[in-house]
Structure 1
């Protein structure tokens, strides 16, 4: 309704909005129209609710759109350069962008490059690690927007709000007990690879952000190959455990292929001493044997947690905030979320579905959509591809495409009111016959 009002007064509004979305799409970021409109709303009104646009005239909206575009460009460059998160799949917490856009516009894009910028990024990372805007998005976003109205102390208040809700802002080894590329900690793993002294296992060269251009993506590498793990009876969640993931250049990933880690890890360490440790791989060679796989995962989780805390402390510019008394000293890891895709083949298939939809003037779905409890924000399951507002946004039933998922994911989709498909062709028939028609 807010967009309809704007378009009635400014007929070119929708095309201008889509032009911005196309600009970011070319750069590798798939933003939704709703998110851009939310950023404009936050920049102009300091609030998250679309109804606040009712009092905004056309010249003000045009100005707000320009400011939001500049702010998003600024933030993408900042997040890409400082955190290495420079493409869509690893860009977490989209709903942090309206708040951050408001923050940088209100300060005329003049942020202190050390402490202020570091603390803003510290808050952003924690917002995607703990699902700050999962669940009651507008309510929490509105509350956080009120915290940045004052020119001074805003970031302390934002971080304080996270600390109250979490109790502990440290990362623990148990937090890495997750699987699939849809896990909240997947972007953190990629981020650590880009900002720390990780080295390619084929060349020994560093994989830092400044060594890669926008199109030279790192590829996901399973340290223990999938085929080897399946052969020895491990389940899908074990095979695709987050602690079994690392990143390499494409050439190295192909060269390593399905080699036994007990053999190739030794060769890498002999050729490039320290290269394994740069990826937080335990150097105890007994852990590289297939029968010690779970011990390997445990050891690597501990190293990843230490690396994450060291980097977050660097961003924060001081020792991490003390643990509140209410926080548990030894966190208990929740069971891994059901659902999610874990390999490039499945991701390619899902992206092809999105391309087919866009070619038929239908909206692309959200990859690795995290279904959360509407009240608590607690994650329930990960859907491969989802349209939470329907293929006819706001008019049709929520839809999900679930490839090779188990009954837990199907049940979660049912309970959340999603119409789901387990076959691409069946989904395409639905889209063609029921929606496009």
Structure 2
């Protein structure tokens, strides 16, 4: 079928995009390559369409389908969308992506190259022709303009042939394979789609589940995105796949998406409403009871599907404080020990099986089984000082320190007020403070890992943090102790003045780790409410201190985090997926953390088509090596990453002014 005819069929509504297809993900390099191949009459592959009844078809966008049958694009979306945008000068109705990928494509009459518009290179140069204008105006009108350029006269016949070649792209025949038959259900077609796209944008298990849901409930995707947007405004970044995982757990009690196979549209709709309510309740509970009130400190987000299911089994709410705190005790430990960092589905399924009797007044037994599942990996759940010997804001014990500050009555040094979320207001964020300032430690030869040790962090209000700034603790601690007596010690800071000296910094860290471990254990014991069996070690047992696994990388301070947040917003503003802050890179074979990446896109900036990428600010070779081993392309500065986004992903020739 000719390209022009295909575009006409899209306009008429007899060709569309199935709901399960992802959005447009091509970049300008791919668009340019397609046009070059078509111009040179090189093969660009065939199309695959699913011929089905229009009344039963679920297509993307608000495109109105013609009665009878419709062709849904299974393979060829990126090519056809690019061609439609270039030939028509606007995206098709089913478009979902970055329109700049195919906007402003130009052709050079002299060297026959395709490039995207650059004013400094193309302005007032008649050799550069807008491909869209040639397609829309036609070769005849374009030729009339060329005939009026004196310097073109010597090569006019060559130029006219080249203009004709561009317009004739619309007349190129693309081979089209058709999938037809009553037996071609959504399941069968999606399987065909995945086989055809094995080297491209293959649907994930979540995509497949959503495809089946949308076949019966076309508005499902939009309804789910509305919930995600609500939580995003509240300070939580969740993905569609995560929400589906919650719905799956709530409706079926299982982790695997295959459990949704026989769930009808009404059950999914009801499940979404129920899931939204229990997630709201859990986020409020975690924020109010644990003080973990925004995305950066939430941690263990794949524990929430389990907690959602548990809450539903208990009628939507927890009947008493004891049960509430026991569930939170389990949740905190899933953060500390990375319960769902490795094989998420298998571990979640194991834990879901453990709570299946929670609805029959067996809550104590269900919670006990959850704890025992944790003990299978870590026999002793008690914390030790070595557990606080990690570094960086990406460390798993960073949320623990934040939580302790919020709920254990830590006081602000400047005002003496408790740093509780009730005092500061929901979602108010404390600022991390280096007790020993970085500049002072670096000047005395301490290494980055030591400088950014968890035990050197505490949290203060913005006002006090700015007031303390980069002062020597040997000077500012006595001053604040006199101003607000006892406030310093509420942050588990050793009160021996000798330990406030920079030459005794390592001794300070050791003593503070002891204080942190004791405070954390006391709090967790209270959370357990006494009903959980306690592991009591004999007094004469020789305790071998656990060596804390060093996980390199992570965000050092609020200033660095703010830079990352601004860049993340810059990327999202350009129609690209949002990255994950302080992403924990896991070894797939061992399930152990390899590094904490400052800002990462595990699925690439073009999901399914490009390799994982990350931004690493001020990290060492160990983090860079871990990122490379994990298959990531990494950038060590915002400017270099920005250039990559512009010139490779978006292929913008004119750089915008820096805005981050």
* Matching residue within 118, 130, 140 for 2:325: 118
Given that 1:38 and 1:98 are in contact with CA atoms closer than 8 Å, whether structure 2 keeps it comes out as yes
Partners of 2:284 and 2:542 in 1: CA distance: 36
Matched, 1:170 2:377: no
Structure 1 runs (4+) greater than 6 angstroms displaced = none
From 605, 613, 616, the equivalent of 1:391 is 605
Residue deviations 1:79-118 (CA, integer Å, cap 9, x gap): 0110011111110101101111111012112313311101
Q: Which residue of 2 aligns with 1:8?
A: 215
**Unaligned stretches of 5+ residues in structure 1:** none
**Structure 1 contact 170–320 (Cα < 8 Å) conserved:** no
- The number of equivalent residue pairs is 436
Following the alignment from structure 2 to structure 1, what is the Cα–Cα distance between the partners of residues 589 and 370?
21
Deviations along 1:335-384, whole A, 9 cap, x unmatched? Answer: 43111111112111111122122212211111001111223321111111
Question: Which digits, 9 at most, give the CA deviation of each residue in 1:311-355, with x for residues without a partner?
Answer: 000000117720689x99323323431111111121111111221
Offset of 1:11 from its aligned partner? 2.0
Deviates more, 1:188-197 or 1:422-431: 422-431
Cross-structure match for 1:39: 246
Aligned partner (choices 82, 89, 95) of residue 289 of structure 2: 82
CA pair 104-342 structure 1, distance change in 2 beyond 3 A: same
**From 603, 623, 638, the counterpart of 1:424:** 638
Residue 535 of structure 2 corresponds to 322
Give the 3-state SS of the residue equivalent to 2:614 in structure 1: strand
1:409 aligns with 2:616: no
- 1:167–1:323 CA contact under 8 A, matched in 2: no
Residues 1:313 and 2:525 aligned together: yes
User: Of residues 305, 316, 337 in structure 2, which corresponds to 1:130?
Assistant: 337
Residue number in structure 1 paired with 2:572: 358
* Aligned twin of 1:264: 476
Higher RCO, 1 or 2 (CA under 8 Å, sep at least 6)? 1
How far is the alpha carbon of 1:197 from its aligned partner? 1.8
Residues 144-200 of structure 1 deviation map (CA, whole Å, 9 limit, x = unaligned): 111110121111100111122101110100000011110000000000001112111
Q: Match for residue 93 of structure 1?
A: 300
| CA deviation map 1:212-260 (0-9, x unaligned) | 1024321111111111111111111111110010011111111111111
SS in 2 for 1:166: coil
Contact 1:229 1:239 in 2 (8 A): yes
Q: Report the equivalent of 1:238.
A: 450
SS in structure 2 at match of 1:381: strand
What are the residue-to-residue correspondences of 1:93-242 with 2, within 5 Å? 93-151=300-358, 152=362, 153-242=365-454
User: Matched residue of 1:221: which SS?
Assistant: strand
Local SS of the residue matching 2:463: helix
Q: Per-residue CA shift, 1:394-413, capped at 9, x if unaligned?
A: 44322222122111111111
**Contact 1:148/1:154, CA 8 A, preserved across alignment:** yes
Give per-residue Cα distances to partners, 1:259-295, cap 9 Å, x unaligned.
Answer: 1101110111122221121110101110000100010
Q: For residue 196 of structure 2, what is the aligned residue in structure 1? A: none
Q: Distance in 2 between matches of 1:137 and 1:407?
A: 29
| Equivalent residue number for residue 349 of structure 1 | 563
CA drift at 1:435: 4.1
CA contact under 8 A between 1:201 and 1:252: conserved in structure 2? yes
Structure 2 residues without counterparts, runs of 5 or longer: 1-207, 652-660
Normalised by the size of structure 1, how large is the TM-score? 0.96
Farther-moved stretch of structure 1 (97-106 vs 419-428): 419-428
Deviation at 1:308, TM superposition (A): 0.3
SS in structure 2 at match of 1:315:
helix
Distance in 2, Cα, partners of 1:99 & 1:278 = 34
Q: Which entry has the higher C-alpha Rg, 1 or 2? A: 2
Deviations 1:35-94 (CA, angstroms, capped at 9, x unpaired): 111111111111111222222211111111111111110100000110011111110101
Q: 2:224 aligns with which of 17, 35, 38?
A: 17
In structure 2, C-alpha distance between the alignment counterparts of 1:260 and 1:411, rounded to whole Å: 35
Q: TM-score, normalised by structure 2?
A: 0.64
